[in-house]
Structure 1
């Protein structure tokens, strides 16, 4: 849990400590242990085991090479580092910020050890036609993405020589993100799952949980027609520029929608500060809790709501445990 940036009174401190102690008791049943570098990790040599990330065999014993939490998946034993930077895997959905445009590629900051690369050849063109990239395409890269644009993409692969991470955006769900907020949380709080794109229909909001710890909350869009719908765009061959033929849409977001985005964003900020995992279901539980308690958006970052969220998490995990029992 991060150091809370809120002032708790004595009663709130006791309630929060009680809730966190209950959460610790519930999680201790799962056999998690915290280790430092060179600590010995207990394993069952008779049944056989697999050494994963953060472990090393020395003198017949398995020792930790990083500080973190010991995790066990069947016979695999590994150490999940505390507060690590993003560890990329092929197929990850990420959110990032364009930081530089160089020949044939965009450089994107994604909370990785170095900037990722999105090649011009690894994304759909604005005219929607599958074709070779031309010199005009390269000249007009800024009409697609420019510096400081927020984008969503997928991890394609990593070049072994220099460790460069390559992205791709060959689907309608990828591309430029607008009319929303970008939040940063610790990457380990966002678990990899089959679904990282969520449409919160009751609010008309899109939620993208990037595996790299960048979370996007924005106004819902049906499709990225400005990038893929050839009926709305054409290539002006006289000057090589892409011309948008669609009727311009409103460029503002309604006040109610902005308030909904801020409410969801504050729910994520509270969960992040408490060190709780991020899923659509957990986030929406906290949003609905704030609405049920008639908590104003700015009050969600107050001490009382932090305590309420911790107590709510105790209830959730207790019910899950009883359900498995």
Structure 2
């Protein structure tokens, strides 16, 4: 039996999709896992996926409110768009898949600087327009709370410049666009890692979007906008100290890499940490390809699965591991349902 060449659509603009050459057995296993996952998404489950004209089962005694993506048809509530059924108290609506990010105040987002403008930076955060981070809405490298001066404005490019990756919080929508803020040590420039982009619907809003994976020495930031950062763990205080040296290279007349001597190890990420970053990134790529909701627990399960099976980092993007990931998700949801 020859191999079956399958291309799965990738939920990311920076990934071109995993081209999987499934053999007959792998194809059957994957289809079986998908059927099992579909059956586990019970009709009463608020996370059930629907397509246009699917009936949305409701308990009419609850006095539910019908929201976006739903309509009445012959006494039943049906979906008018493809997406995931969501319930907020008594409100039922369908959250569209493959839609652009819809920001909410307080969202943790990761973005890339597109422009350094007067008193502000503009960032691409997967929104319909660039977001704005005002100079007055962020901590300065010296950590001192004070009014921003003309000198600070002239030095903006030494803080963030084009293509820098930044973590920030959604402040709100104003007359000139969506505004962000970064008034805490945990926000700011992200370095020594990878930026992945997945569909925003794969990232659920939770109380915690910053994760320090101590056993792997990495930080994981799940941006509500679908931008995910995986990088070497950096203590904010140490990072601020290093920034002070970076901002003043003229003291020695040399670049940062050649000036700190005993701090050079801070510049270079250890090989083991880089491997952990790549392994975690590949776990996210596989989950994104399969369209699975991402939480730190699910991502770590897939990372640990690859380690327990002695699968190399590059082998994680192969067809066999993709099938194993789908089967692992079936196992996880089954056990979760039994506990529930």
**TM-score bracket, shorter-length normalisation:** 0.7 to 0.9
Which one of 127, 141, 145 corresponds to residue 112 of structure 1? 127
Q: Is 1:26 matched up with 2:33?
A: no
Give the total of aligned pairs. Answer: 312
Q: 1:284 to 1:11 in 2, by over 3 A?
A: same
Which one of 283, 288, 312 corresponds to residue 304 of structure 2? 288
Q: 1:231 to 1:209 in 2, by over 3 A?
A: closer
TM-score when normalising by structure 1: 0.87
| SS at structure 1 position matched to 2:34 | helix
Q: Distance in 2 between matches of 1:55 and 1:29?
A: 16
Quote the offset at 1:70 in angstroms: 2.9
Q: 1:11 to 1:126 in 2, by over 3 A?
A: same
Ranges in structure 1 where 5+ consecutive residues have no aligned partner: 237-243
User: Which residue number in structure 2 is paired with residue 257 of structure 1?
Assistant: 273
Q: Is 1:220 matched up with 2:233?
A: yes
After superposition, what is the alpha-carbon deviation per residue over 1:19-41, rounded to whole angstroms, capped at 9, x for unaligned?
110000001343435242x8775
Quote the offset at 1:125 in angstroms: 1.2
Quote the offset at 1:68 in angstroms: 2.4
Q: Is 1:274 matched up with 2:290?
A: yes
User: Which residue number in structure 2 is paired with residue 320 of structure 1?
Assistant: 336
User: Which residue number in structure 2 is paired with residue 13 of structure 1?
Assistant: 27
| SS at structure 1 position matched to 2:172 | strand
Q: 1:315 to 1:63 in 2, by over 3 A?
A: closer
Q: Is 1:130 matched up with 2:120?
A: no
**1:151, 1:175 within 8 Å by CA — same for their partners in 2?**
yes
After superposition, what is the alpha-carbon deviation per residue over 1:229-253, rounded to whole angstroms, capped at 9, x for unaligned?
69957999xxxxxxx9x94732221
Ranges in structure 2 where 5+ consecutive residues have no aligned partner: 1-7, 11-17, 249-255
| SS at structure 2 position matched to 1:111 | coil
**2:204, 2:294 within 8 Å by CA — same for their partners in 1?**
yes
Q: 1:23 to 1:231 in 2, by over 3 A?
A: closer
Q: 1:235 to 1:80 in 2, by over 3 A?
A: closer
**2:43, 2:57 within 8 Å by CA — same for their partners in 1?**
no
After superposition, what is the alpha-carbon deviation per residue over 1:172-221, rounded to whole angstroms, capped at 9, x for unaligned?
00000000000011111111001000000001100000000000000000
Quote the offset at 1:83 in angstroms: 1.1
| SS at structure 2 position matched to 1:77 | strand
User: Which residue number in structure 2 is paired with residue 241 of structure 1?
Assistant: none
Q: Distance in 1 between matches of 2:138 and 2:108?
A: 15
**2:141, 2:244 within 8 Å by CA — same for their partners in 1?**
no
Q: 1:33 to 1:231 in 2, by over 3 A?
A: closer
After superposition, what is the alpha-carbon deviation per residue over 1:143-162, rounded to whole angstroms, capped at 9, x for unaligned?
10000000100000012x46
CA RMSD of aligned residues (A): 2.7
Q: Distance in 2 between matches of 1:290 and 1:219?
A: 20
User: Which residue number in structure 1 is paired with residue 178 of structure 2?
Assistant: 165
**1:127, 1:235 within 8 Å by CA — same for their partners in 2?**
no
**1:96, 1:109 within 8 Å by CA — same for their partners in 2?**
yes
User: Which residue number in structure 2 is paired with residue 2 of structure 1?
Assistant: 9
Quote the offset at 1:277 in angstroms: 1.0
Quote the offset at 1:52 in angstroms: 2.8
After superposition, what is the alpha-carbon deviation per residue over 1:76-112, rounded to whole angstroms, capped at 9, x for unaligned?
1101102111110000000000010110100000011
